[in-house]
Amino acid sequence: MDRNSRLAVLLVAPLLLLMIVGFVLPLGTTAFKAVDNPEVTAALPRTTAALGQWSGDGLPDEAVYAAFVEDLLSPQDNRVFGGLVRRLNFEQTGMRSIISGARRAAEGLQAPYSESLPALNAVWGEPEVWQLLQTHSNPYTATYLLRAMDLRMAADGSIIPVDPQQAIFRELFLRTFIISLWVTVFAVLLGYPTAWFLSTLRGRAEGLALLCVLVPFWISILVRSTAWFIVLQREGPINAALLATGVIDTPQAIIFTRPAVYLAMVHVLLPFQILPLLAVMKRIRPDYVRAAASLGARPWQQFLLVYLPMTMPGVAAGAVMVLMLSVGFYITPVLVGGLRDQMVSYYIAYFTNTSINLGMAAALSLLLLILTGLLVVAAARVLPGLNLGARV
């Protein structure tokens, strides 16, 4: 490396280092947490070691039972057992009370434990619970990623759908994608004529119209979502206006519905569609369209055959941006949508901040990341030179 390159590296290094430690590393942690499975081994080290020898047929021998009781009696931190109990209960209902019951009674148990444990609770005399422990002695698990697709692993290792009453995530990803797609379609349909109109303006009118796009663009998503939250209330301005004009005769519940989510999201994301379109349209010289006209093309032909193809890069650039941002939207649906209008982001926040399941949060994050990554890669294929540096 020459002196210049060394200096260049030195200049880039501080920011790069910050990005790697503060961003890439956390993302890596998330990816790891989606498959990490430390709980069972941490709480039951002797049992998992003993289960390593077990074939999985019938019942394990006394050595495994004895190791298990020894683990239960070991002066472990409650937190380690808490982790175990939550982990197993997530795999199988009822494990919380089964494990906690065994731990409470462990001190009074007499050898041979392969008799006294099943006497305490019959499940210890069945192979399933031991298979479960053996499966999760593995330091890695596919549980979270499977569950994020409404699948689970049965005791025999086959992959089966979860109980329909607990199925949620396939529908959720589908909904996220559908909402995002519709928002993108609306953004294109509203944005295209608007951008064209802006590109025809000159002088003061252009400045004013551009301001109508740039000001919302610069105002935070929260403020714009808040505005919709206020505007859409039952006794808010929209209902008041509709009542006053006689369109409706009783106030309608608009907020916390899907249409409210569409309305607010399209509003928030529309500038991302208009601005790249405008940039493309401003570069098109009117000569082309005029040439087409002089060759006898009708107006719709001029549009379809000349103008539209030339503006497609703008449509695509804006649409990719809108789609990408929609897929990860959080604030707007949370504020103006109901529980049935939430997207994947809501559940990432839910599993991180409310429910206690970082594995699920990580798995959903990873899938969302992959989904977004695919969109970006697809977009880069279609549109070389795509600039994603617009304001988010």
Residues 338-377 that bind other proteins (CB under 8 A): 338-340, 342, 345, 347-358, 361-362, 365, 368-369, 372-373, 376
Beta strands in the chain (DSSP E): 151-153, 159-161
Closest Cα to residue 275, out of 343, 339, 212? 212
Planar angle of CA 371, 376, 379, nearest 5 degrees = 125
- Beta strand 151-153 pairing with 159-161: antiparallel
Task: Count the neighbouring beta carbons within 10 Å of the beta carbon of residue 247.
Answer: 10
308 scored as a contact of other proteins (CB under 8 A): no
Helices 308-327 and 169-200 meet at what angle, rounded to 10? 140
Helices 221-231 and 237-244 meet at what angle, rounded to 10? 40
C-beta of 8 vs 305, nearer to other proteins: 8
Task: Count the neighbouring beta carbons within 10 Å of the beta carbon of residue 304.
Answer: 12
CB 263 within 8 A of CB 187: no
| Single residue of 269, 324, 333, 363 touching other proteins by CB under 8 A | 324
283 scored as a contact of other proteins (CB under 8 A): no
Nearest approach in angstroms of CB 108 to other proteins is 19
Helices 308-327 and 258-283 meet at what angle, rounded to 10? 140
Q: Give the integer Cα–Cα distance in Å for 98 and 75.
A: 19
Binding mask 30-59 for other proteins (x = CB under 8 A): x--x--------------------------
C-beta of 51 vs 255, nearer to other proteins: 255
Cα 34 to Cα 118, 203, 256: the distances in Å are 34, 55, 31
304 scored as a contact of other proteins (CB under 8 A): no
| Single residue of 119, 230, 308, 374 touching other proteins by CB under 8 A | 230
Q: Give the integer Cα–Cα distance in Å for 388 and 316.
A: 12
| Single residue of 142, 167, 293, 383 touching other proteins by CB under 8 A | 167
| Single residue of 228, 265, 306, 318 touching other proteins by CB under 8 A | 228
Footprint of other proteins on residues 79-138 (CB under 8 A)? Answer: 79-83, 85-86, 89-90, 93-94, 96-97, 100
Stretch near other proteins under the rule CB under 8 A, chosen from 40-48, 51-59, 152-160, 168-176:
168-176
Stretch near other proteins under the rule CB under 8 A, chosen from 52-60, 77-85, 113-121, 307-315:
77-85
271 scored as a contact of other proteins (CB under 8 A): yes
Stretch near other proteins under the rule CB under 8 A, chosen from 63-71, 106-114, 290-298, 332-340:
332-340
Stretch near other proteins under the rule CB under 8 A, chosen from 35-43, 44-52, 73-81, 307-315:
73-81
Cis ω for the linkage preceding 251 (within 30 of 0)? no
| Single residue of 29, 53, 138, 301 touching other proteins by CB under 8 A | 29
Helices (H), 156-285: 169-200, 203-218, 221-231, 237-244, 258-283
| Single residue of 222, 247, 248, 312 touching other proteins by CB under 8 A | 222
Q: How far is CA 376 from the centre of its chain?
A: 15
Stretch near other proteins under the rule CB under 8 A, chosen from 15-23, 47-55, 67-75, 116-124:
15-23
How is residue 148 annotated by DSSP? T
| Single residue of 49, 105, 209, 289 touching other proteins by CB under 8 A | 209
Q: Give the integer Cα–Cα distance in Å for 118 and 68.
A: 13
Nearest approach in angstroms of CB 235 to other proteins is 5
171 scored as a contact of other proteins (CB under 8 A): yes
